[in-house]
Amino acid sequence: MVELERRGTPTVLFTAQTFVHDAERSAASFGLAGLPLAVVPLPFTNQKPADIHRMAAAAFEQILAGLTKTIEPPKAVERPALEERLAFEGQDLLDAWGRMQADFLRRGWSDGLPLVAPTDRAVEAMLRGVKRSPGDIVATLEPGFGIATVEKLAINAVMAGCSPEHLPLLIAAVRCLAEPKMYIRNKAMSTGPHAPLVLVNGPKGRVANVNSGMCALGPGAPSASNTVLGRALRLSMMNVGHTYVGVSDMDTIGSPLKYACCCAENEAESPWEPYHVTRGFAKDASTVTVHFVYGICELHDFRSTTPEDLIQVFATAANNVAQVGTGLWLIGRRVDPRSKTEEKEHNTLFICPEHAQIFAKAGWGRREIQDGLYRAARLPFRTMMLNKEPKAMQIAHPELGWMTDHPDLPVPVVEDPTCFDIAVVGAAAGRGAYFYGAGEPVTMPVED
């Protein structure tokens, strides 16, 4: 709508009451505070046509006003405090720290857990983890177009509990978020529970003690680095990217994965080349990969001893049509309309070392697993379309209209075999993890 206004075309947008703050903030971040809205009580999704008609009719006068009445001067838009330093007083330092927690919660700057105080000394120490200057700009981070300087990321890293050796990893992760292909605006603001799954490869992850083995996704002392690094990324999304719940993060239910979801690949136990090599990096390079994921399903199998049997079990995790990405290719691809970067819907598999050995001993690599899953993970067309808009498929794939006459046709859950990303993670026992992904992963090198 803002782009149409820019071109001289007046607009008005239906917006559900719950999303008014979101719409106002979004329009303001694109430069047009006060974009006319026709506010309706509920989202139109999951409503019967008669109920939608009633809501639209009730909003009709707002539509007329939006089209014809001069836009009022922009409302005051909530802006973050610009002061670079904050001070809190208390009976003692612990009391002052408690007031900081309460203030940050009130402002929405906290993830809800206690934060480490980002004092000058702590931030200076954090900055020693990189060679870059504090004022260097790493990226501009959407949805709020926040300027991600090294110092701001260091402050959020301190608050998360990071050590200096984590900062280069955090910077690489933030660069992943800022890549146009990541389309972070969509994932940060969505009603879906998009959580950044962070996968670390290479020696710098080991220096930073990022756990790749037992209970790699935490919790617990062995995964302390994983927890704080994942948490630092979430805090950076919030305080640098301005992704705030109820304002610019409209997640319907939320997800515990959004607090922190980070680990390293267990390269030592993997029979294959490290994941980052498949992404075009040298084996001795250090990288961070971020893949936004909706949810996680266990890949449990203590019985199978052949790749074929394991694939059948894994495919049952992939065949989950209640998960938004399943079969989503039928209605198009995720696209940032500004950059026109397209994403296929990927899913990430963390295969445990024991299962990886079963595949490897039979001569299977990632490619064979991808191909096997692509063949095995299929659902009837009618099942796949249960939660998809038929008109969207007509637009995206008019050439596939014939499928409507074949409702029992098995249809692959992903667009092609490469939509399964595979890393080896975890300790002994036949239990891996299947992450239902949102779009494609992005990998960045870790730099000093």
Partner 1 sequence: MARLEILNPVAKTVEYSVKPAARLQAIDGATIGLYWNIKAGGDAALDKTEELLRARFPKARFKRYTGSVGWLMRHCTAEDADRIASEVDAVVGTTAD
Q: Which is nearer to partner 1, 172 or 433 (CB)?
A: 172
Q: Which is nearer to partner 1, 167 or 328 (CB)?
A: 328
Shortest distance in whole angstroms from residue 136 CB to partner 1: 13
Q: What is the residue-wise DSSP string for 310-368? A: HHHHHHHHH--TTSTTTTGGGG--EEETTTTEEE---EEEEE-HHHHHHHHHTT--HHH
* Residue 436 main-chain phi, psi, to 5 deg: -80, 110
Closest C-alpha among 26, 22, 442, 363 to residue 198: 442
Q: Compute the least distance from the CB of residue 53 to partner 1, in Å.
A: 4
Q: 309: which 2 tokens?
A: 């049997």
Q: Please, which residue, 1 or 352, has the CB nearer to partner 1?
A: 1
For residue 324, give the nearest of 261, 388, 383 by alpha carbon: 388
Block residue for tokens 């449990």: 300
**In the complex, least distance from residue 48 CB atom to partner 1, rounded to whole angstroms:** 9
- What does the alpha-carbon distance between residue 382 and residue 361 come to, in Å, rounded to a whole number? 38
Whole-number minimum distance, CB 264 to partner 1, in Å?
26
Return the number of the residue (7 or 303) whose C-beta is nearest partner 1: 7
Least separation, in Å, of the C-beta of 330 and partner 1? 9
Q: Give me the least distance between CB of 103 and partner 1, in Å please.
A: 10
C-alpha 288/C-alpha 173 separation (Å) is 6
Q: Compute φ and ψ for 15, nearest 5 degrees.
A: -145, 130
Least Å distance, CB 71 to partner 1, is 4
Instruction: For partner 1, give the closer residue by CB, 214 or 392.
Output: 392
CB 189 within 8 A of CB 251: no
The answer to whether 241 touches 177, Cβ cutoff 8 Å, is yes
CA distance 169 to 142: 19
Which residue lies nearer to partner 1 by CB, 78 or 308?
A: 78
Q: Which is nearer to partner 1, 81 or 221 (CB)?
A: 81
Question: Would strands 347-351 and 420-424 be described as parallel, antiparallel, or unpaired?
Answer: parallel
* Closer Cβ to partner 1, 85 or 303, answer by number: 85
Nearest to 234 by CA among 264, 193, 204, 191: 193
Q: How far is the CB of 51 from partner 1 (least distance, A)?
A: 9
Q: How far is the CB of 349 from partner 1 (least distance, A)?
A: 22
Residue nearer to partner 1 on the CB measure, 84 or 284: 84
Q: Which is nearer to partner 1, 306 or 394 (CB)?
A: 394
Place of tokens 């309460």: 102
Closest approach of partner 1 to the CB of residue 140, in Å: 6
Cβ nearer to partner 1, comparing 279 with 382:
382
- Per DSSP, the three-state class of 29 is helix
Question: Shortest gap between Cβ of 24 and partner 1 (angstroms)?
Answer: 14
Instruction: Characterize 134-156 residue by residue with b for buried, 16 or more Cβ atoms within 10 angstroms of its Cβ, and e for exposed.
Output: beeebbebbbbebebbbbbbbbb
Residue environment code for 405-433, b if the CB has 16+ CB neighbours within 10 A, otherwise e: eeeeeebbbbbebbbbbbbbbbbeebbbb
What whole-number distance in Å separates Cα of residue 36 and Cα of residue 75? Answer: 12
d(CA 232, CA 156): 6
Strands 347-351 and 378-380, how do they pair? unpaired
